[in-house]
Amino acid sequence: MDTAISRSSFRKTTARHPRRSSFSSPLRLRRTAASVVTAAITAGLLLAGSVETCAIGQKQSNHAPSGNGQKGKLIFESQGCDKCHGSLGEGVSTPGQKGGVPRIASTPLALSNFVQLVRNPKGQMPAFDRQRVSDSDLADVYAFLKSLGPPVKQEATTTGDPKVGERIYTSDGCYECHGYLGQGSTSTGGTRLAPPQIPLSAFISYVRQPSGQMPPYTLKVVSNQDLAHIYSFLQSVPKPPSSKTLPLLNQ
């Protein structure tokens, strides 16, 4: 499991120091990570048959999975898992759906059981065979679900505290790329974040597994509740970020 451990420390380093140094060569870093991950997936699949996942978890303090969570997120969406299970794997319990859809993030299942349930679902879920989604793809999806951590309470959207959010936004360095008011920055490529154009769940899943240049932030660095605070801070930012822009807009 050495490969998986080195990957988890790679991710921690990236997320804790999201400075220009890691920002300047993300492609090289990502390629290195990708080859490490490929080895880790193989190791993970071999292990899954005989060892419980918690044994792996004990060695890796943040339960870093062996699949590629970033790829897993894309597969989760392209296979339509998100349509039923929600974009954070949070599940649906609306009365309209017979029995609802279970929450699958962060899944308590071992990888092998997870794969088995996707191949041979017990009830309403359509079966996904190997031709539709390979074992290594499912290992990636599994890693993505693991990275999401415990469920975000629906109330988190409204209970986020903008003041707390502003503090975390600053201390976690989001401002370095996205600007102090989430206005975005052309020099870093950080997109405008305020006000958020995407739901909280999509916001969280992006921060966990970004698909572009942004470094991933793990659960250890910023919790889901912290992200809900940041989200409400971004919601609270007044639409015209500076009064100076008003005369321009009014011309």
Give residue number: closest CB to ligand HEC.
212
Q: What 3-state DSSP class applies to 101?
A: strand
Cα separation, 216 vs 147, in Å, equals 10
Length, in residues, of the chain? 251
In the bound state with ligand HEC, the residue whose beta carbon lies nearer, of 3 and 76, is 76
Burial environment of residue 120 by CB neighbours within 10 A (0 to 12, 13 to 18, 19 or more):
exposed
Q: Which residues contact 200 (CB under 8 A, 6 or more apart)?
A: 152, 156, 157, 227, 228, 231
Interface pick for ligand HEC out of 214, 219, 228, 237 (rule CB under 6 A): 214
- Residue 90 interacts with ligand HEC (CB under 6 A): yes or no: no
Interface pick for ligand HEC out of 57, 151, 162, 173 (rule CB under 6 A): 173
Interface pick for ligand HEC out of 6, 188, 225, 235 (rule CB under 6 A): 188
Of the candidates 156, 155, 111, 158, the residue with the CA atom closest to the CA atom of residue 135: 111
Cα separation, 79 vs 66, in Å, equals 20
**Interaction mask 22-61, ligand HEC, x per CB under 6 A:** -x--------------------------------------
- Residue 197 interacts with ligand HEC (CB under 6 A): yes or no: yes
Cα separation, 161 vs 236, in Å, equals 10
Of the candidates 123, 174, 162, 153, the residue with the CA atom closest to the CA atom of residue 225: 153
- Residue 125 interacts with ligand HEC (CB under 6 A): yes or no: yes
State the minimum distance, in angstroms, from the CB of residue 243 to ligand HEC: 25
State the minimum distance, in angstroms, from the CB of residue 204 to ligand HEC: 8
Interface pick for ligand HEC out of 49, 50, 122, 239 (rule CB under 6 A): 122
Burial environment of residue 64 by CB neighbours within 10 A (0 to 12, 13 to 18, 19 or more):
buried
Is 102:44 a contact under the CB 8 Å cutoff? no
- Residue 79 interacts with ligand HEC (CB under 6 A): yes or no: yes
State the minimum distance, in angstroms, from the CB of residue 145 to ligand HEC: 8
* Region near ligand HEC per CB under 6 A, out of 3-11, 47-55, 204-212, 240-248: 204-212
In the bound state with ligand HEC, the residue whose beta carbon lies nearer, of 88 and 203, is 203
* Run of H or E residues at 181: none
- Residue 95 interacts with ligand HEC (CB under 6 A): yes or no: no
Is 36:3 a contact under the CB 8 Å cutoff? yes
Q: Which residues bind ligand HEC (CB under 6 A)?
A: 18, 23, 79-81, 83-85, 101-102, 104, 114, 117-118, 121-126, 128, 133, 141, 172-174, 176-178, 188-191, 193, 197-198, 203, 206-207, 210, 212-215, 217, 222, 230
